[in-house]
Amino acid sequence: MVASDSFAEFLHEQLAPLGHVTMRRMFGKTGVFCDSVMLAMVRDNTLYFRVDDDNKAAFKEAEAFPPLDYAKKAGTIDLAFWRAPERLFDEPDELISWARLALAAAQRVAAKRERVAPRMSKPRRRGQAR
């Protein structure tokens, strides 16, 4: 289920120090974006931050909870988003610290995708050199 309006508004206020924060409903969840990069997702008013190999150690506490997942025919697929501990909502500075780590991970993922994506070249005119 997507984030409730009140939870989305709360997150928007809490994460504002990061930059331009927006939220978009997607696949039955809510994506949390900063400057067009998805750093978190929300399902059932639970916040999950983006993780990668570089920030997993910092998010060690979140490993105690199941990661964000989705059901597929053959079973369940775990996504690279870990649940934010509830205590962070009482500690706004630490919430922002975690969010910055998640944003950095999201930026690394986005950069990796850009490097891997095939580049479109302009069509050549007949007789034009390569």
> 3-class SS at 123?
coil
The architecture (CATH level 2) of 5-116 comes to 2-Layer Sandwich (3.30)
Tens-level pLDDT at each residue, the chain (130 residues): 788 999 999 999 999 999 999 999 988 899 999 988 999 999 999 999 999 999 989 998 887 787 787 777 877 777 889 999 999 999 999 999 999 999 999 999 888 877 665 555 555 555 555 5
Q: What's the pTM?
A: 0.81
Q: What is the DSSP letter of 62?
A: G
Please name the residue that has the structure tokens 């990796």: 112
- Distances in whole angstroms, Cα of residue 83 to Cα of each of 18, 73, 86: 19, 24, 9
Task: Tell whether the torsion through CA atoms of 50, 55, 59 and 65 is positive or negative.
Answer: positive
Give dist(CA 62, CA 71) in Å, integer: 21
Give dist(CA 77, CA 63) in Å, integer: 16
Q: Are 22 and 31 in contact (CB under 8 A)?
A: no
